[in-house]
Amino acid sequence: MPGHVTPAALVRLSRPACGQPAQPSPATWQHGRVTAATHSTLFPQAPDSADAVLEGLDPEQREVATALHGPVCVLAGAGTGKTRAITHRIAYGVRAGILQPSSVLAVTFTNRAAGEMRGRLRQLGAAGVQARTFHSAALRQLQYFWPKAIGGSMPRLVDRKIQLVADAAAACRIRLDRGELRDVTAEIEWSKVTQTVPADYALAAAKAGREAPRDAAETAQIYNVYEDLKRDRSVIDFEDVLLLTVGILQDRHDIADQVRSQYQHFVVDEYQDVSPLQQRLLELWLGERDNLCVVGDASQTIYSFTGATPDHLLDFRTRHPGATVVKLVRDYRSTPQVVHLANGLLAQARGRAADHRLELISQRTPGPEPVYCEYTDEPAEAEGAARRIRELMGSGVPASEIAILFRTNSQSETYEQALADAGIPYQLRGAERFFDRPEVRKAGIALRGAARFGGNDSLLDDAVDLPSQVRAVLSGEGWTTEPPAGSGAVRERWESLAALVNLAQDFAAARPGATLADLVAELDERANAQHAPTVQGVTLASLHSAKGLEWDVVFLVGVAEGMMPITYAKTDEQVEEERRLLYVGVTRAREHLHVSWALTRAPGGRANRRPSRFLDGLRPGSTATASRTAAGNAGGIERGFTSRPEAVTPRRTQRTPARCRVCGRTLTDAGEMKLMRCEDCPSDMDEGLYERLREWRGVQARLSGQPDFCVFTDRTLMAIAEAEPTSPVELSRIPGVLKRKLERYGADVLAICAGQELEEGVEGE
């Protein structure tokens, strides 16, 4: 179906090229892009003082960094630098001598996030701080205290419980297909993190509105036998790690006191994802103390199916009435166009999380509008994405800065095939971790051997610097100056080795004089932190696995009813979580965002699909099905008091973000904010009034002996001429009309707006 391509316009094509060429993302005025650790290969020097740690933080981030005592709640929107804020908080406390590194425990939810936090703390000169996942921290404590609390050796930890669940089902004479087996396993995991025993499963699942994959009684039976099998085989699963640690800390006060004497300050990242079991563990770590800092965003709650709930985040001020609450809304990641779409998605949301949404304000310069594309079928959609990616790469965008995000992993295969056919390298997010890849392990062994015995290695005879030494060593492992043709396993191995070569070049540039042994030590630290170097390839990932990551270019594919929201999202709460999932996908993009859907799954199929309801009112040519008039929460700081929660009032807040009075878009440019409209939105200014105001301003400037703009700027006069205020209150609402100017010039300006003649040469009183 032929057509044309227009940014921010609906494109109905079976083979379109969408969007515009990528431009490099500029740094912000404050501290550049806030990016994931995996995005950066720089090696910055640690700040030389505690005060230097605070340099480059915006006012709200600085408030987080310096609020070192008492409960602190950080409500941080996507791209607002939350990891930066909390790592600088810890580093500032350590460098200022207020916090002892060994007394701080920072917890998050993924090994990647914990590794990123450790890497940043190391760069800030705060090594020694424990940054772990909940499971990792609990496992260390369980291993240490097991002999004292239980006696004997700790049971073996099973990596994958699905085989045990299969054995339990077989023992119950219940046949499960592969999908049911996976779903029953998920139900058992949910039961354990919500502290639900098998006997209570049916009632708890019904109360939570869960759709059990089998009859609830059968699921409970399998769950019960699964627990018996674990005991018989002397094994535990990951949920048991938390349950057993909670049990020991509850029953053994001496052990709980020992843990509390070790850790006195706690930081919890992604607090909206805490499960009831993790919250209970956190409470036991804390005891009666309140040195706790939590960070989260209710609008990014996308794991409720695992037992995660934003209630702990939203109720934090109720549980801790003296808490300081800091809201981060300055978005350093995405352009105003991307942020506008993200804000628009949440503006139509409902429910408790939506009531606490944050209105993001982009700090980036404007970029291209999001592009919407409609295709005849899914293969055409994948081919269209591949074509556009080739164009972007041809214009200079690295493949590693491009991602294709989808709702379910089953969608991946179509895009893998399309990229392979187009000769575009790709990597699957969620596949094995970088440092666990066989070729990376072998390369590490080879580099370590060369560092120890390189003097006897003829390969290094002609290597004059660190990068050439690494290239020489890795050439023996399969690295070549040119990549192999095509894709597949051979290309993936080469990409891994090429990432190590690039890392060596960056390391040598940042640390002149570094040796091969220094690089090996750096690789060891990165492996422990799971801080992988950038792999050159387009990322294919599910929306869930993309959380916490970002790219210059993001393709959101399959954004159609039945997939987004997913078919089995029946309740209002489930649909709203799907909306939040799309919001997470949108906010992964720094600059270019492509949103697409297909009318049917396979070529020749019945075209009965329609774009996602979440795009209604946002994509061109559509109308909103629901709207909310309440604005989102603005950034700012609310300091806690010791009075009752209902008496707590904010002491210092910022204004609600300005919106264009024509199109409703959030305004970030100072000039546009004065006009209260976008620069290119139509003006309804009274030209005659504007000229009379300019003449009057000239007289006032001459009388006071100052430039014209010191009276009022041109934009302020334009705003006055557009608003035509009739009272001091209306005039005071115009940006640029401050109290002093209102008192001095207000009467004159209102008289001119009313069409009255002023006495010539008389200064306004």
- Binding site for ATP: which residues? 76-83
Q: Which residues in 44-62 are b (16+ Cβ under 10 Å) and which e?
A: eeebeebeebbebbbebbb
The maximal CA–CA distance of the chain, rounded, in angstroms, is: 100
DSSP string, 647-675: G---SEEPPPPPB-TTT-PBP-SHHHHHH
Q: Residues annotated as binding site?
A: 76-83
3-state class (DSSP) for residue 169: helix
With a CB cutoff of 8 Å and minimum separation 6, the contacts of 485 are none
| Residue 593 in tokens | 């965002």
**Residue 421 and residue 413: Cα distance in Å, rounded?**
12
Pairing of strands 156-157, 235-236: parallel
**Residue 424 and residue 393: Cα distance in Å, rounded?**
9
DSSP-derived secondary structure letter, 105: E
CB 685 within 8 A of CB 730: no
With a CB cutoff of 8 Å and minimum separation 6, the contacts of 487 are 419, 420, 423, 424, 425, 426
3-state class (DSSP) for residue 262: helix
**Residue 460 and residue 471: Cα distance in Å, rounded?**
10
First to last CA, the chain: 68
User: What backbone torsions phi and psi does residue 245 show, to the nearest 5 degrees?
Assistant: -65, -45
Q: How many CB atoms are located within 10 Å of the residue 441 CB?
A: 12
**Which of these, 342, 292, 329, lies nearest to 312 by C-alpha position?**
292
Q: What angle do CA 115, 118, 124 make, to 5 degrees?
A: 145
3-state class (DSSP) for residue 108: strand
Q: Could you tell me if residue 8 is left (phi over 0), alpha (psi between -120 and 50 degrees) or otherwise beta? A: left
Q: Which residue has the tokens 């379109």?
A: 16
Helices (H) and strands (E) in the chain, counts: 28, 19
**Residue 186 and residue 161: Cα distance in Å, rounded?**
10
DSSP string, 551-593: EEEEEE---BTBBTTBTT--SHHHHHHHHHHHHHHHTTEEEEE
**Residue 551 and residue 400: Cα distance in Å, rounded?**
8
CB 552 within 8 A of CB 22: yes
Q: In sequence order, what are the beta bridge partners of 108? A: 133
**Which of these, 563, 581, 562, lies nearest to 345 by C-alpha position?**
581
**Which of these, 493, 518, 504, 489, lies nearest to 442 by C-alpha position?**
493
Is the bond preceding 310 in cis, omega lying within 30 degrees of 0?
no
CB 724 within 8 A of CB 695: no
**Burial class of 405 by CB neighbour count within 10 A (0 to 12, 13 to 18, 19+):** buried
**Which of these, 231, 230, 227, 203, lies nearest to 217 by C-alpha position?**
203
User: What backbone torsions phi and psi does residue 294 show, to the nearest 5 degrees?
Assistant: -115, 150
DSSP-derived secondary structure letter, 358: B
